[in-house]
Amino acid sequence: MRFRKSGVTIGVMSAACALTALAGPAQAAQTVQTVHSSFDPTGATFSCLSGDLTVVSGTVNEIDHFNTDNRGRVHVTGTITVHGVTLTDEQGNVYRLSGASWFGATLPDMSETAEPIVATDTEHFVIRSASGGVFAKVQVVSHISPNGDMFTFNMGSCSPPED
């Protein structure tokens, strides 16, 4: 997801490779690492069919889990949750964001240029108006298959922030 501190899914996976490189050579025993982080998303922009919405407050929490198996393959998963995130439109109307994002991937090795063997990114966020009703949704699923085929389904009326 582009609403990640560490970048889009592929960027996060590259970071996973860099982090797991500290574990030693690929022949080493399995290694596991979990990283918790939080950041202020203020200024991020959701592009919606009805106009852009800009984040004005809140916190995003990210949990990334990295596992290097005994073959040197890197497995990474991550979850994004939002807390108290508010947005505004150009007219000054206030909206609240709820929802989560999850991604997972397997990479062939620990190099920073490794392309994923398989990867999936799911995003589901609901944007609510001041009255509590649903204003818009972010509903995106992206997938890269082992054979290199890729697809993205975007069934929402908004797109998450780009890096």
What would the mean pLDDT of 125-136 be, rounded to a whole number?
Answer: 95
Query: Residue 133: inside a domain, yes or no?
Result: yes
Q: Which pLDDT does position 18 carry in this prediction?
A: 40
What are the tens digits of pLDDT across the range 62-92?
999 999 988 889 999 999 999 999 999 999 9
* Residue 115 reports pLDDT greater than 90: no
Total domains, the chain: 1
Between 16 and 32, name the one with better pLDDT.
Answer: 32
Whole-number Å distance between alpha carbons of 163 and 45: 10
- Asked whether residue 108 carries a pLDDT value surpassing 90, the answer given is no
DSSP string, 98-124: EEEEEEEEEESSS-TTPPPSEEEEEEE
The residue type at 32: V
**Within-domain flag for 4:** no
126 within a domain of the structure (yes/no): yes
- Give the structural domain span for 39: 9-159
Nearest C-alpha neighbor of 16 from the set 63, 57, 55, 48 = 63
Asked, for residue 1, whether it belongs to a domain, the answer is no
Residue 53 domain flag:
yes
pTM of the model: 0.78
Average pLDDT over residues 34-54: 96
Give burial (CB, 10 Å; 0-12/13-18/19+) of 9: buried
In a domain, 114, yes or no: yes
Query: Is 2 a member of any domain?
Result: no
Q: Do β-strands 134-144 and 118-129 pair in parallel, antiparallel, or remain unpaired?
A: antiparallel
Contact 101, 1 (CB under 8 A): yes
Asked, for residue 50, whether it belongs to a domain, the answer is yes
